[in-house]
């Protein structure tokens, strides 16, 4: 139990350090990219290159994913204060969210298809 807690703690610290490095690099290089996205790209590069082995972060990331819903509680509570807005414009907001998601998926699909056609001889 204690060894598992220590493993989760150190692995979570490693994940947090990669996140912070991504945030730092975005600030230092003045990139127009969110720091958390840079951190995820950095972690992907570290995993793909073999610098970081998946086993080194498996327990900690599994713990975080298992308790993922807990991190959304503050957001959910904050949304409750917008009850009147949701009652008034909820359907319009839902339509906008659905249409923007569909538009994003369509643009991504079309872009991928066009890029694949360019690569084929």
Give Cα 27 distance to the centre of its chain.
19
pLDDT of residue 87: 86
Mean pLDDT of 3-16: 92
Mean pLDDT of 71-94: 82
Tell me which residue has tokens 């009652």: 87
Q: Which DSSP string do the residues of 11-55 spell out, in sequence order?
A: HHHHHHHHHHHHHHHHHHHT-SS-HHHHHHHHHHHHHHHTSS-GG
pLDDT at 72 over 80: no
pLDDT of residue 90: 86
C-alpha triplet 21, 62, 60: angle, nearest 5° = 50
Answer positive or negative: Cα dihedral of 87, 93, 97, 103: positive
pLDDT at 116 over 80: yes
């Amino acid at each position: 139990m204690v060894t598992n807690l220590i493993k989760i703690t150190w692995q979570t610290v490693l994940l947090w350090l990669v996140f912070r490095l991504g945030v730092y690099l975005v600030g230092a290089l003045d990139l127009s990219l969110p720091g958390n996205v840079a951190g995820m790209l950095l972690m992907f590069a570290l995993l793909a290159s073999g610098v970081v082995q998946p086993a080194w972060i498996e327990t900690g990331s599994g713990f975080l994913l298992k308790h993922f819903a807990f991190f959304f509680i503050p957001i959910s509570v904050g949304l409750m204060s917008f009850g009147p807005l949701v009652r008034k414009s909820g359907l319009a907001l839902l339509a906008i969210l659905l249409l923007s998601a569909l538009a994003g998926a369509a643009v991504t699909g079309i872009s991928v298809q066009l890029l694949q056609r360019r690569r084929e001889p």
